[in-house]
Structure 1
Amino acid sequence: MPQAPNQQRYIVRAAGDSAPLQGFIAGLQSEPAIQLVEAIGPAQQPHTVVIQTDEATAQQLAQRFASTNQLMIEPDRPLSLFGHGPA
């Protein structure tokens, strides 16, 4: 899925129990500014999701998540071997 302008990918994961993440996923239908890109983990209980949204929405989510300590959000960055960037 190509990224829309001003949209970035973020990883949202459960800090412990996956129930809060299930609630977050269920609530995405009413959040047009957030698109679910991928769910990672068992089909009925993913532990991590990749979403696409703008930076302002991601910051709002981070503030909301910080108040409960149940979910975490961070930018989705490419993995690299031993801290080296792409060749």
Structure 2
Amino acid sequence: MIEIEDRASIDSDVLALADLVWGLLPDNLRLHVVEGAEVGEEVSAAIDVLDYLASSGIVVPDGVRVVAERILSQISFEPDVLRLKWVLLNLKK
């Protein structure tokens, strides 16, 4: 589970994603997620996490794809949309 003080201030989908994959992440990426959450960049950090998982070929837990699709439905910045669509095509179940 993500170790952050104020969980209530973080996007609920980002928290769900972090909780699902926390054990699969290296320490530097965990730190990136926490730091992103602290400065209001948690969605960007979540996309980085998903990109890492897809690029690494790591098998992800059930629910990750659903959360990623919910995040995709909330964003509009075109580079992030395209990146997240690529991630969804490449996540391993």
Q: Structure 2 length as normaliser, TM-score?
A: 0.35
Greater helix share, 1 or 2? 2
Q: Structure 1 length as normaliser, TM-score?
A: 0.36
Greater relative contact order, per chain length (Cα 8 Å cut-off, separation 6+): 1
